[in-house]
Structure 1
Amino acid sequence: MRAREQMVRLVATGLGRRGLEVRRHAATRRQKMLSRHDVDLVLDVGAADGGYGATLRSFGYTGTIVSFEPLREVFARLATAIETDPAWSARNVALGAEPGETTINVASNSTSSSILPMLGPHLEAAPHVTYVGQESITVSTLDAEAADVLAAHERPFLKVDTQGFEREVIAGGATTLDQCVGVQLELSFVPLYEGGMLVDEAVSWAYDHGFHLVGIEQGYAAPSGEILQVDGVFVRD
């Protein structure tokens, strides 16, 4: 055991000298939180090709997942990825403050695609990420989309990853949010998308609505080392 501890210490020291560290995956803590609060439904808003849901599954979450992704090609990849998982479904819509149609800016990496225009700090931090086109998409509301699944579940958790559009998603989901035992939101320290919600507004909203911060997950950093964005995990008081 002592030899093993020494080896671990040597590896950790070597990685540290190279600017790296070994630490417990954030999804481990998140899964403990989901289990503790008996979460039986995850509403995955801004699902992209399903990476968030796949991580949930990898770390032990077995409940229902409903994902929302507006881009047609990305949604097609998501649908293919989940076709063998009967407890995971997906819907090809964006969520906002009210239903309708809008245009989304399609980014070269798809995960940065956004309804809101990308701003300078994002472009400076990731100059390789550019808009490559636009796509007309359908917008629904969280309350409209979640009503049917909430009827069969008691402990929902909401994750929102919508490139600055979080405020609008929240505005269209008041009834759903009243039932949620937790939420996960992007917390931006600088404006990355025009009109996007920043960390102070997001945290204030969460605390004003009965949630408190229990976890921070690494998000988006500039090449300079400056942290531009993290994910905040909140649960009911």
Structure 2
Amino acid sequence: MARTWTDLLSPERLTAVVDIGANPIDGDPPYVDMLRAGLCTVTGFEPQPEALQLLLDAAGPNERYLPHAVGDGGEHELRVTWMNGMTSLLEPDVARLSTLNEFARYGEVLSRTSLATTRLDDITDLGPMDLLKIDVQGSELPVFQNGRTTLAGAVAVHTEMSFAPLYEGQPLFGEVDAELRAQGFVLHTFATLKKWPIAPAVIDGYIFTNHQQVIEADVAYVKDFGRLEELTAEQLKHLALLAHHVYASPDLAVRCLAQLVADGAVDDAVVPAYAEAIGRSVTLDGVRSDR
């Protein structure tokens, strides 16, 4: 029986996912298919007690969830808002929110509490991390800045990015992009793109249609695929698996597989096996690997 491409990859361990801000309010995380298939482990962080309990109640054997608030290591004020998904360490920008339909109500602060944060680089029992998924409502940049040592081993970052400031002093796309690029990551794809109607217009009686203003996106960054020779074989294997299972990116997966073959880390049958698995033809420098 022919070996599958994952058999040929034979990574030393399951792909390791770290989820900062694991609150399940936004539905399934991007890695859910890998988790359900038993292909990854998840270490999640969620400081809100009710959200943490939901995660603990539903956790499977490859999941663990911790109550830490990951940040810059300082003490901050947590603003709990009317819409749970806008709860943040940053103060909602009332003037800016008022320019978007309904957002002023969503960002209304209902309560405030002191919250101690922990630097990502100070979490000693974290274990390996291949994919960092993060959604902390405007506080992503301090996490990246205080997690550079840990992020050096990661091959992908899945982060929420803001293009319009919803909070006071919120770092926007340009600042966060510059930090991730400085750490050796490149933007791979926009997993989701959120547009919102500009207030006060209601077009044809529908408040949430007929709009083009981009406010946020979930963005996937990967280690620079122009420098894959700098990655270890294990990193390349997990990047290939993430490219395939999380981002439906066969081109990136094949580039990782080709590098592994060039490095002598896996059998050269892995590319034809991958082509067969996805039911496509794959060509490398004019050599075709048929399905």
- Pairwise TM-score range, normalised by the shorter structure: 0.7 to 0.9
Residue 182 in structure 1 maps to residue 169 in structure 2:
no
Partner-residue secondary structure (3-state), 2:175? helix
Partner residue of 2:214?
227
The structure-2 alpha-carbon separation of the partners of 1:217 and 1:57, relative to structure 1 and needing over 3 Å to count, comes to closer
Deviation (angstroms), 1:141: 1.3
What is the rounded CA distance, in whole Å, between the counterparts of 1:50 and 1:149 in structure 2? Answer: 24
The answer as to whether partners of 2:144 and 2:179 remain within 8 angstroms in 1 is no
Residue 193 in structure 1 maps to residue 167 in structure 2:
yes
Partner-residue secondary structure (3-state), 1:232? strand
The structure-2 alpha-carbon separation of the partners of 1:69 and 1:222, relative to structure 1 and needing over 3 Å to count, comes to same
Amino acid at match of 2:80: V
What is the rounded CA distance, in whole Å, between the counterparts of 2:61 and 2:26 in structure 1? Answer: 17
CA RMSD of aligned residues (A): 2.4
The structure-2 alpha-carbon separation of the partners of 1:156 and 1:55, relative to structure 1 and needing over 3 Å to count, comes to closer
- Show CA shifts across 1:10-55 (max 9, x none): xxxxxxxxxxxxxxxxxxxxxxxxxx9x971111111113756655
Consecutive unaligned residues of structure 1, counting only runs of 5 or more, are 1-35
The answer as to whether partners of 2:14 and 2:41 remain within 8 angstroms in 1 is no
Residue 41 in structure 1 maps to residue 16 in structure 2:
yes
Return the TM-score normalized by structure 1: 0.73
Consecutive unaligned residues of structure 2, counting only runs of 5 or more, are 1-10, 198-210, 225-291
The answer as to whether partners of 1:74 and 1:110 remain within 8 angstroms in 2 is no
What is the rounded CA distance, in whole Å, between the counterparts of 1:217 and 1:61 in structure 2? Answer: 22
What is the rounded CA distance, in whole Å, between the counterparts of 1:54 and 1:159 in structure 2? Answer: 8
Partner residue of 2:77?
103
What is the rounded CA distance, in whole Å, between the counterparts of 1:128 and 1:50 in structure 2? Answer: 18
Amino acid at match of 2:41: T
Amino acid at match of 1:185: T
Partner residue of 2:119?
141
Count how many residue pairs are aligned between Structure 1 and Structure 2.
194
Identity %: 27
Q: Which structure has the bigger radius of gyration?
A: 2
Aligned residue among 223, 230, 241 for 1:236: 223
Amino acid at match of 1:90: Y
